[in-house]
Chain A
Amino acid sequence: MELAMRILESLDQNARLTAKDLAVMLGEDEAKVAAEIRRLEEELVICGYPTLIDWDKTDKHQVTAMIEVKVTPQRGKGFDEIAERIYQFDEVEAVYLMSGGFDLTVMLRGSSLKSIAEFVSGKLAPMESVLSTATHFVLKKYKEHGIPLVQRQEDERMLITP
């Protein structure tokens, strides 16, 4: 496997690995790994290093909603322009173009049910190309980015075995 792919697969599981750690673990030169990471960042293959946080375990009140949006695609631009208009809002966490019965999935993050409702009715639904919206609130997150949020698997192995 090429170096870039090995770096990406490692960082996909643990973004905190330093170039030095990665170099050791992949058996490569540190400067080479650092340069490769820089290149991947510049080319927007690596787009960021957010932390996976379960906000439900904190005092911060937060509501997540998934909105199904039907839109009218625009001549020559397809769905890209309307998607861009939507994703520029800070409340919008993710926007996906979908196959099937609707066009865009918009993931929203807000401090309350009300703030989400206001965004949908005040900002999203009135957009010219938006035909309809259907809002689904997230009640509980079990797993994200391949990591279960609900329970941690304890190491149940004996301390010493042959």
Chain B
Amino acid sequence: MRNPLNPAVVEIKPSGIRKFFDIVHEMKDAISLGVGEPDFATPYHIREEGIYSLEKARTHYTGNAGLPELRTEISNFLNRRYGLSYDSKSEILVTVGGSEAIDLAIRAMVCPGEEVIIPQPCYVSYEPCVILTQGVPVVIELQEKDEFRLTAEELRAAITDKTKLLVLPFPNNPTGAIMTEEDLKGIAEICVEKDIIVLSDEIYSELTYGYKHVSIASLPGMRERTIVINGFSKGHAMTGWRLGYACGPAEIIKQMTKIHQFAIMCAPTMSQYAAIEAMKNGDEDVAMMRDSYDKRRRFVVHELREMGLPCFEPYGAFYVFPCISEFGMSSEEFATRLLTEQKVAIVPGTAFGDCGEGFLRISYAYSLENLKRALDRLRAFITKLREEKANA
């Protein structure tokens, strides 16, 4: 029989997190700090709109780009929160999660051989999406000394005459890093000068602490060269509804909509109705959840520092990214031993790029009790490692 597979797909490495997931899956009683989604259930008034839409038999397709009312509300939301202004009819596309929007944007823009700059550590999907379009991923290894922000110097050094797109994943999963307005200005200037398009993945934009999120699309000269990806999963605790969106110049959104139309048709209808409620009446929920994450963020950073694990203060998302290099083992080895010896599941930094080596991603989207229990076990584990090292 002939090879049924496309070698380009076969060659893509499975997500590093997947491998760890398989190990964790075997352990029934492990406690976890490894989840990349909110611990909150979707607020009930939003769920109730989803239920109501089913009662009303709204079980059909919507238009390809999404319900007009939802796009209007998204447009209002982005304006209210980040000062962005997008035409709801031609510049907003509702997608199946932010993930689909990332895939569409890359497929709509990247030609074979064109380079896409990806700052790592980052979410796992950018690189494979670029490879599938036969584009060339160019990785920038972000530095702990910069608190894992992208610097203008790093960007300038990575640009060649083949560079087309910059992926800008902030607030960042897995590091919790954010980019301030000052940081973004330096990046924006280079993008304008070198004519580079930006794919700004702002899925965690509602979850920043002490700093208000700034979208690079709001800076001079950037709106026409930026696709903003956002969605409902993180800020509104709606991961399972699978709903996100992309905003940008009409000519790009139009081509993304074309792919979406052929591949997906439309995002789930009941999720779209629920999302209208989230956009209209969800700001208070988000504020409550943000405040709750902020308390847990401070708690986890404090505990990690108390046990002598260095970590920079993360101002976004719901992750802390402590350094474990003192133990002289790889992140994966550390995470695997922690899992087998103390039954705590934490994702090794390398799941998000090679430069995550020496780090762990700790999620604080858990109850305080769960955090305390898991951190106690982590403390016991590293105390043992330090004793082993002292006796060696």
B-contacting residues of A (Cβ < 8 Å)?
A: 10, 14, 21, 24-27, 153, 155, 157-162
Nearest CB in chain A to that of B20: its residue: A160
In the complex, whether B178 has a CB less than 8 A from a CB of chain A is no
A/B interface sample: 30 pairs, CB < 8 A:
A10-B295, A21-B299, A24-B302, A25-B298, A25-B299, A27-B298, A153-B41, A157-B35, A157-B37, A158-B21, A159-B25, A159-B27, A159-B30, A159-B34, A159-B35, A159-B345, A160-B17, A160-B21, A160-B24, A160-B32, A160-B34, A160-B35, A160-B345, A161-B17, A161-B35, A162-B17, A162-B36, A162-B123, A162-B124, A162-B351
Nearest CB in chain B to that of A155: its residue: B39
In the complex, whether B9 has a CB less than 8 A from a CB of chain A is no
In the complex, whether B15 has a CB less than 8 A from a CB of chain A is yes
- B94-113 vs A, Cβ < 8 Å mask (1 yes, 0 no): 00000000000000000000
B347 touches A160 (CB 8 A): yes
Q: Which residues of B sit under 8 angstroms from A159, Cβ to Cβ?
A: 21, 24-25, 27, 30, 32, 34-35, 345
Complex Cα–Cα for A25 and B37 (A): 21
Complex Cα–Cα for A159 and B347 (A): 10
| Interface secondary structure of A, over-half rule | loop
Q: Which residues of B sit under 8 angstroms from A158, Cβ to Cβ?
A: 21, 35
Interface residues in B, total, Cβ within 8 A: 28
Known: A26-B298, A158-B21, A161-B34. 5 other contacts (CB 8 A): A25-B296, A157-B35, A157-B39, A159-B345, A162-B123
Q: Which residues of A sit under 8 angstroms from B124, Cβ to Cβ?
A: 162
- How many A-B residue contacts, CB cutoff 8 Å? 52
B302 touches A14 (CB 8 A): no
In the complex, whether B368 has a CB less than 8 A from a CB of chain A is yes
- B287-299 vs A, Cβ < 8 Å mask (1 yes, 0 no): 0000000011011
A-contacting residues of B (Cβ < 8 Å)?
A: 15, 17, 20-21, 24-25, 27, 30, 32, 34-37, 39, 41, 123-124, 173, 295-296, 298-299, 302, 345, 347, 351, 368, 370
A110 to chain B minimum Cβ distance, whole angstroms, is: 33
Q: Which residues of A sit under 8 angstroms from B173, Cβ to Cβ?
A: 162
Q: Which residues of B sit under 8 angstroms from A14, Cβ to Cβ?
A: 368
Complex Cα–Cα for A161 and B347 (A): 9
B24 touches A26 (CB 8 A): no
Nearest CB in chain A to that of B351: its residue: A162
Complex Cα–Cα for A27 and B298 (A): 7
Q: Which residues of B sit under 8 angstroms from A21, Cβ to Cβ?
A: 299, 368
Q: Which residues of B sit under 8 angstroms from A26, Cβ to Cβ?
A: 295, 298
Most B CB within 10 A of own CB, among A10, A21, A25, A162: A162
Q: Which residues of A sit under 8 angstroms from B123, Cβ to Cβ?
A: 162
Q: Which residues of A sit under 8 angstroms from B24, Cβ to Cβ?
A: 159-160
Q: Which 6 pairs from chain A and chain B are nearest by CB?
A: A25-B295, A160-B34, A159-B32, A24-B302, A160-B21, A161-B36
Complex Cα–Cα for A115 and B76 (A): 59
Complex Cα–Cα for A162 and B363 (A): 10
Complex Cα–Cα for A157 and B295 (A): 21
Nearest CB in chain A to that of B30: its residue: A159
Complex Cα–Cα for A161 and B15 (A): 11
Most B CB within 10 A of own CB, among A10, A27, A158, A159: A159
Q: Which residues of B sit under 8 angstroms from A157, Cβ to Cβ?
A: 35, 37, 39
